[in-house]
Amino acid sequence: MTKTLNSRRTSLVFAATLAAITFGASPSFADPSTADVIVYGATPGGVCAAIGAAREGVSVTLLEPTNHVGGMNTGGLSHSDSNQCARSTVMGLFDEWHTRIANDYRSRGIELPYDVRVKDQAIWTYEPHVAARVTKQMLDEAGVQVLTGRYLLSAKKDGPRITEIITSNGTFTANVFVDATYEGDLMAAADVSWTIGREGREEFGESYAGKQYPKKKMDISGFGVRGQPLPLITTIDDNHRDNNHGNSNTSEADGEVAGDRNVMVYSFRLCLTEDPENRVPLPEPDRYDPARFEVVRRYVQAGGRVGFDLYALPGNKWDGNNSIGGQFSLGLVGGGNDWCEADETGRAAIWEAHKQYTLELYHFLTTDSAVPDETRQKYSRLGLCKDEFADYGHFSPALYVREGRRMRGKYVLSQNDILEEPVKDDPIVVSSFPIDSHDCQRIALKDGGVINEGTIFPVRREDVKQGYAYHVPYRSIVPQPTECSNLLVPVALSCTHVGIASIRVEPTWMVLGQSAGIAAALTCKEQPQRSVQELSYSRLRDRLLGQGQVLELPR
């Protein structure tokens, strides 16, 4: 059977990039359209899946729908979130990648302000072009064939097995496939069950599911003079209970406990600098309308603060990130809800909408008279970096897709697995980032006020600011066997919204990707028709440890 899927993107590049571009092609491949393992999606998880499989001695082709390889790791996310994890457990390819980044700097006489060998809570940072260089080196050394400009069109199956995938530039066959996209595009094309958005509290017994109101209500009106909701408002609600602030989930208000299809905000991670030798001014936004920011203006005039987080990077640069605690920041609330199910044209429009919003927000912060002088001057000093993303006008090519589809596989990981029952019999990673969700919607209240909903502020151990350590089982990256027997899904894995709120960081996805790659390779070495569900866990565990992973929970 064939399941058709409109061309999908993980980070949007425009029509000019549709031609096939080979990244680090290995001369050992006579026919890259056939491999033991095909990984779709060159995210950090996909890169590690490809390298992990190749190091087990099988042939690997890594397909990327755009011409950007490395996802967020090479697309602007330059502040490793592993500082909020139990670093002694985040090993394997993630640790090797960071070690090689540090060695790259050291070889040029630059000492970083941290030591990768020390597994403390220091913040590890790097520049995007250095991350891209190290990523390419590791793929080349592993002999992975990397092909870009391959947009998924459909997947062909024989019973539960994928036999081939058809892209905009070629058809590819393999024994085992890995879907490493942020969105879960290949699993959707293969007719594997999935969900998107947020579960209700009752479905998995999760106190952090349903609606969440930890942020203070803004005492401003969210409506215009004619009673219409202002721009940047996503929802109108006159049933909100004002006492439902915080992650206390006792409200009986209608709809408070129910799930929905909202995802946490998407945004860009901006690589910025104040260095006049390297600074490139941010482009002027097209068709800027000051009225779009009226709700922000009202908030500022009421004494609120706006902006975004800045993390210092090597090279006199900054990583600009959406502020999880901010009322208005780089995240376009509600803007990513249709991303995963949009076709190529639809995703291009959503990508452009996020870029437009980013440029408009910067323009507002630096020019609007309502913004305090100190804030305007702070952001006016910043610009894009001349030595980053030259092919994209120095603007990041990767939209930060924090949450996409989630598979409904053999095991659904939920809040209980993180906080109450962390030990599993078939672990493939120790995850320990806090449960942490950005805003999902912005509500104008009919009885007065505006409130952001959906944030889950970090649920973590207060003594060391780490999340709670728990196992992610192998069962969470495999589909139901009747649905697909030769597919592994390490990024859009089987979990709840609360679960992905903890799993969703690149360090965890990199280790999950490596585990999936090793499992794919081992499955290939079994009988040709052996399923990924039948793989011996003891054999998989041996090879995970053999590639440097840690599977024991920390004390």
How does pLDDT run across 17-68, given as a tens digit for each residue?
Answer: 333 333 433 434 558 799 999 999 999 999 999 999 999 999 999 999 999 9
Whole-number pLDDT of residue 527: 72
Quick: pLDDT tens for 119-167.
Answer: 999 999 999 999 999 999 999 999 999 999 999 999 999 999 999 999 9
Which residue segments constitute the domains of the chain, with CATH numbers given?
2-77+134-196+468-546 (3.50.50.60), 270-392 (no CATH)
Please state the rounded mean pLDDT for residues 93-105: 98
Q: Does the pLDDT value for residue 184 go beyond 80?
A: yes
Predicted confidence band of residue 526 (pLDDT cuts 50, 70, 90): confident
Whole-number pLDDT of residue 246: 42
Whole-number pLDDT of residue 32: 78
Q: Are 379 and 362 in contact (CB under 8 A)?
A: yes
Predicted confidence band of residue 344 (pLDDT cuts 50, 70, 90): confident
Please state the rounded mean pLDDT for residues 212-225: 97
Whole-number pLDDT of residue 255: 75
C-alpha neighbours within 13 Å on the C-beta side of residue 324? 13
Whole-number pLDDT of residue 237: 86
Whole-number pLDDT of residue 138: 98
Round the average pLDDT of the chain to a whole number and report it: 92
Please state the rounded mean pLDDT for residues 91-95: 98
Token reading at 364: 């507002």
Distances in whole angstroms, Cα of residue 422 to Cα of each of 315, 413, 432, 513: 40, 10, 10, 20
Whole-number pLDDT of residue 465: 87
- Using alpha carbons, select from 161, 143, 187, 192 the residue that is nearest to residue 41: 187
Whole-number pLDDT of residue 243: 41
Please state the rounded mean pLDDT for residues 313-341: 98
Please state the rounded mean pLDDT for residues 389-411: 97
Report the percentage of the chain scoring pLDDT > 90. Answer: 88
Of 175-189, 370-384, 516-530, the range with the lowest mean pLDDT is 516-530
Across the strands, what pairs with 167?
152, 170
For 100, phi then psi, to 5°, come to -70, -30
Please state the rounded mean pLDDT for residues 172-199: 98
Whole-number pLDDT of residue 4: 39
Q: Does the pLDDT value for residue 325 go beyond 80?
A: yes
C-alpha 340/C-alpha 236 separation (Å) is 24
More confident residue, 471 or 248: 471
| CA angle (291 as vertex; 285, 296 as ends), nearest 5 | 90
More confident residue, 95 or 527: 95
Q: Does the pLDDT value for residue 491 go beyond 90?
A: yes
More confident residue, 127 or 10: 127
Across the strands, what pairs with 146?
62
Quick: pLDDT tens for 126-139.
Answer: 999 999 999 999 99
Kindly state the DSSP code that residue 188 receives in the 8-state scheme.
Answer: H
Q: Are 220 and 298 in contact (CB under 8 A)?
A: yes
Quick: pLDDT tens for 198-210.
Answer: 999 999 999 999 9
Whole-number pLDDT of residue 240: 58
CB atoms inside a 10 Å sphere around CB 471: 23
Whole-number pLDDT of residue 253: 54
**Coil, helix or strand for 506?**
helix
Whole-number pLDDT of residue 10: 37
Predicted confidence band of residue 555 (pLDDT cuts 50, 70, 90): confident
Predicted confidence band of residue 245 (pLDDT cuts 50, 70, 90): very low
Whole-number pLDDT of residue 45: 98
Q: Does the pLDDT value for residue 7 go beyond 70?
A: no
Report the percentage of the chain scoring pLDDT > 70. Answer: 91
Token reading at 262: 């909202």
Whole-number pLDDT of residue 31: 80
Strand-strand pairing, 427-431 and 406-407: unpaired
- Using alpha carbons, select from 157, 169, 163, 165 the residue that is nearest to residue 181: 165
- Using alpha carbons, select from 512, 85, 504, 513 the residue that is nearest to residue 266: 504
Looking at the chain, the number of H-run helices and the number of E-run strands are: 12, 23
C-alpha 336/C-alpha 266 separation (Å) is 6
Predicted confidence band of residue 100 (pLDDT cuts 50, 70, 90): very high
- Using alpha carbons, select from 295, 313, 276, 301 the residue that is nearest to residue 361: 295
Q: Does the pLDDT value for residue 317 go beyond 70?
A: yes
Q: Does the pLDDT value for residue 327 go beyond 50?
A: yes
